[in-house]
């Protein structure tokens, strides 16, 4: 109730002022102005917790003209920002229905109503309004940016590319990065249909938009993997380290598989050891520990994990340490180790594996397009125990 009063009292005051200004016969500049009784009725609705009725009255009091259009727009925007989208829609629809609006004022109201519809999830209605604005060539840039948001929500990547072509980078700084991901999305669609040539064509365009592109390298490696070219897979995935080492954990399973298929076990060990020395990558250490256990015994693997945990503590390393000790233990401490292993495993199950470095959104699987802040390529594997958000 208190919030509604704070929101609507300025509008009520403006309504009363306009009503008084227009309801008084101008006989003398010193004659006191009379306030419309409808104004007091609106205040009464507010005090009795009936904001919808109050809104209707204040809208009627505020006749739409050049003096009051901005007041209507501001009121609608306030409601939308507060999440009261239905009220925002009512106000903006009422505004558009008035024949006295100028071309520019109607366009502004259409833009605001389109944003209301987007907030309400009515994307088809919002799309129609933004398309109308582009046809009118009014608020063209903003309308296209909102259309781009809608098509991304609907995963209509071809229309995303069509709209992106009409947007200037100065109004959308992350445009090139977004376009590269649109091409990657189309490439993934073609990969699922086993259309390798079309997928490669889209990936070339993605790389042209953004040279250092981890997703392009990963998808190119998948194409080579389907062709059985393990050497090319290794070559491509090893380039990820130079582009963004944060994604190494995404590439290691396929890299390790290809090394083993080629029978290059020593080369794999050397690569993992170098990788670990450069980045202290937990996933690299876990594979190294398995290889050390096979060649040197579980004791040596335990020592390697212990050293890793002393430098960079994390739950995955702790789980592996407990598991290795459980394999080596006598009967007496087994029960304690089994409880510890179960506890750590449950903690790992609850922990997110990925986090958006832009907004902090966390997830169990990778999303190239953050569901929260809608940023492309900002969700990355969480390293160690810490979670970092760019300020």
Instruction: Indicate whether 282 pLDDT > 90.
Output: no
Lowest mean pLDDT among 61-65, 108-112, 220-224, 318-322: 61-65
Q: Which helix (H) or strand (E) holds 276?
A: helix 265-279
C-alpha 353: how far from chain center: 16
Q: Which residue has the tokens 């507060």?
A: 82
Are 164 and 182 in contact, with CB atoms under 8 Å apart? yes
List Cβ neighbours of 137 (8 Å cut-off, separation of 6 or more).
none
CA dihedral 142, 144, 146, 147 (to 10 degrees): 160
Torsion angles phi and psi, residue 210, rounded to 5: -145, 105
Q: Which residue has the tokens 């833009």?
A: 111
Condensed to tens digits (0 to 9), the pLDDT of residues 186-217 reads 999 999 999 999 999 999 999 999 887 899 99
Binding site members? 356, 359, 370, 373
- Whether 382 is covered by a domain: the verdict is yes
Range of the domain at 379: 352-391
- Whether 224 is covered by a domain: the verdict is no
- Whether 388 is covered by a domain: the verdict is yes
Torsion angles phi and psi, residue 381, rounded to 5: -60, 140
Neighbouring-strand partners of residue 363? 354
Q: Which of 12-16, 58-62, 100-104, 248-252 has the highest mean pLDDT?
A: 248-252
The pLDDT assigned to 31 comes to 46
**How many domains is the chain partitioned into structurally?**
1
The pLDDT mean for the chain works out to 82
Binding site members for Fe cation? 356, 359, 370, 373
- Whether 223 is covered by a domain: the verdict is no
Instruction: Indicate whether 101 pLDDT > 50.
Output: yes
Put residue 381 in one of left, alpha, beta given phi > 0 → left and psi -120 to 50 → alpha: beta
- Whether 172 is covered by a domain: the verdict is no
Sheet with 354-356: list strands edge to edge: 362-363, 354-356, 379-381
- Whether 117 is covered by a domain: the verdict is no
Condensed to tens digits (0 to 9), the pLDDT of residues 335-359 reads 556 666 666 666 666 678 899 998 9
- Whether 360 is covered by a domain: the verdict is yes
Are 376 and 359 in contact, with CB atoms under 8 Å apart? no
- Whether 362 is covered by a domain: the verdict is yes
pTM (predicted TM-score): 0.77
């Amino acid at each position: 109730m208190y919030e509604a009063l704070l929101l609507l009292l300025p509008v009520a005051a403006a309504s009363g002022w306009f009503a008084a200004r227009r309801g008084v016969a101008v006989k003398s500049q010193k004659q006191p102005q009379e306030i419309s009784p409808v104004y007091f009725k609106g205040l009464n609705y507010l005090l009795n917790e009936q904001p919808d009725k109050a809104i209707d009255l204040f809208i009627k009091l505020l006749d739409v003209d050049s003096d009051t259009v901005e007041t209507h727009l501001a009121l609608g925007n306030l409601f939308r920002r507060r999440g009261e989208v239905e009220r925002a829609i009512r106000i903006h629809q009422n505004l558009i229905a008035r024949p006295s609006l100028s071309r520019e004022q109607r366009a502004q109201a259409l833009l605001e109503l389109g944003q209301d519809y987007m907030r309400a999830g009515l994307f088809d209605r919002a799309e129609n309004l933004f398309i109308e604005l582009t046809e009118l060539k009014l608020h063209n840039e903003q309308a296209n940016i909102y259309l781009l948001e809608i098509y991304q929500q609907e995963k209509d990547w071809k229309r995303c590319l069509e709209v992106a072509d009409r947007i200037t980078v100065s109004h959308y700084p992350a445009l090139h990065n977004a376009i590269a991901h649109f091409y990657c999305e189309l490439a993934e669609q073609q990969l699922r249909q086993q259309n390798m040539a079309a997928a490669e064509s889209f990936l070339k365009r993605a790389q042209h938009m953004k040279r250092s592109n981890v997703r392009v390298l990963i998808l190119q490696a998948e194409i080579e993997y389907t062709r059985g070219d393990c050497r090319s897979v290794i070559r491509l995935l090893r380039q990820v380290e130079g582009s963004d080492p944060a994604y190494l954990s995404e590439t290691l399973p396929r890299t390790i598989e290809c090394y083993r298929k080629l029978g290059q076990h020593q080369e794999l060990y050397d690569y993992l050891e170098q990788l670990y020395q450069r980045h202290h990558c937990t996933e690299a250490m876990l594979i190294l520990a398995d290889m050390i256990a096979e060649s040197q015994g579980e004791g040596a693997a335990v020592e390697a994990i212990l050293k890793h945990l002393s430098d960079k503590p994390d739950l995955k390393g702790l789980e592996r340490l407990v598991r290795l000790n459980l394999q080596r233990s006598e009967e007496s401490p087994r029960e304690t180790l089994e409880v510890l292993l179960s506890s750590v495993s449950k903690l790992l199950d609850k922990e997110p594996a990925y986090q958006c470095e832009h907004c902090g959104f966390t997830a169990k699987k990778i999303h190239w397009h953050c569901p929260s802040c809608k940023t492309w390529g900002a969700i990355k594997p969480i390293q160690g125990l810490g979670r970092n958000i760019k300020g």
